[in-house]
Amino acid sequence: MSETREYKSGVSSRWPTPCAACKVLKRRCSSSCILAPSFPPKDAQRFIAVHKIFPRTNMIRMLQGIPEEKRALAVDSMVYEANARLKDPVYGCTGIICILQQQILRMEGELANIKALLINSRQLQLNKNPLPPTSNLPENTDELCADLSELFSTEMSLDHLLAWE
């Protein structure tokens, strides 16, 4: 008797092909395997990454407490957290969030400085008295460019972070 199994990727597979989780752990994959929809047989690396952080029993326990329609999102979240933990074992996703928040704060400060420079230059063009420079404006544009290049040359750029999956 052969069954058809539908995977998250939309690919159908003939039973008894085990899911990646059962294949990696060398277990028999049942038709009711809760991990099968999220870990198709050809995507073993995805399961291996998650399994290093979340053991199989913990994954199953977490997924059983989640409605079936939201399990795919939960697994995606576990995959993202596992990849983050593998790259940064101490902080994981929290480290990424902190880096991004620092970048946002820096960029907001730079934006405020640039807006102040624009207002000042517009007033000069209108032959009005310029506003006194604020204390947090850079002395010259070289300093501003250096700050911006330092910000965008950080090891964990946003493109790098989004490319994990």
Is the torsion defined by CA of 157, 158, 161, 165 positive or negative? negative
Contact criterion met (CB below 8 Å) for 137 and 52: no
For 21, counting Cβ atoms within 10 Å of its Cβ (0-12 exposed, 13-18 middle, 19+ buried), the class is buried
pLDDT at 42: 87
Residue 1 confidence (pLDDT) = 37
- Residue 164, pLDDT score: 46
d(CA 64, CA 66): 5
Q: What is the pTM of this model?
A: 0.56
User: What pLDDT is recorded for position 104?
Assistant: 95
More confident residue, 17 or 86: 86
Q: Tens digits of per-residue pLDDT, 120-153?
A: 888 888 865 555 555 555 555 556 555 555 555 5
Q: Calculate the dihedral angle through the C-alpha atoms of 84, 69, 42, 86, rounding to the nearest 10 degrees.
A: 10
Domain limits of the chain? Answer: 4-87, 93-162
Mean pLDDT value across residues 31-54: 89
Question: What is the residue type of 81?
Answer: E
